[in-house]
Amino acid sequence: MKRIDAALDDLFRQVLAWGGVVTGEHGIGVARLPWWEKGHFAGGTEVAVAFKRAVDPNGILNPGKFV
């Protein structure tokens, strides 16, 4: 797993250097979570969490996951 994590770090670092974002067609996923704030506007996490709370106040949709 350490090699995979290192490869993902290299990949996401380069994607951001090229001006890309670390999202995918199905959201950010577990692997991309550590890179979320680096690839989005300041405060993006708070906006995403507030949105999830608004549409899922009981936390029953995809529990334990980030948006």
Task: Name residue 27's beta-bridge partners.
Answer: 24
Q: Is the pTM of this model over 0.75?
A: no
Q: Return d(Cα 8, Cα 22) in angstroms, integer.
A: 11
Predicted confidence band of residue 12 (pLDDT cuts 50, 70, 90): confident
Burial class (CB in 10 A: 0-12, 13-18, 19+), 41: exposed
Give the residue, 23 or 62, on which the prediction is more confident: 62
Q: Which residues contact 36 (CB under 8 A, 6 or more apart)?
A: 22, 28, 44, 45, 66
For the stretch 28-48, pLDDT in tens is 777 777 777 777 666 777 888
43: which 2 tokens?
């405060």
In sign, the C-alpha dihedral spanning 51, 56, 66, 26 is negative
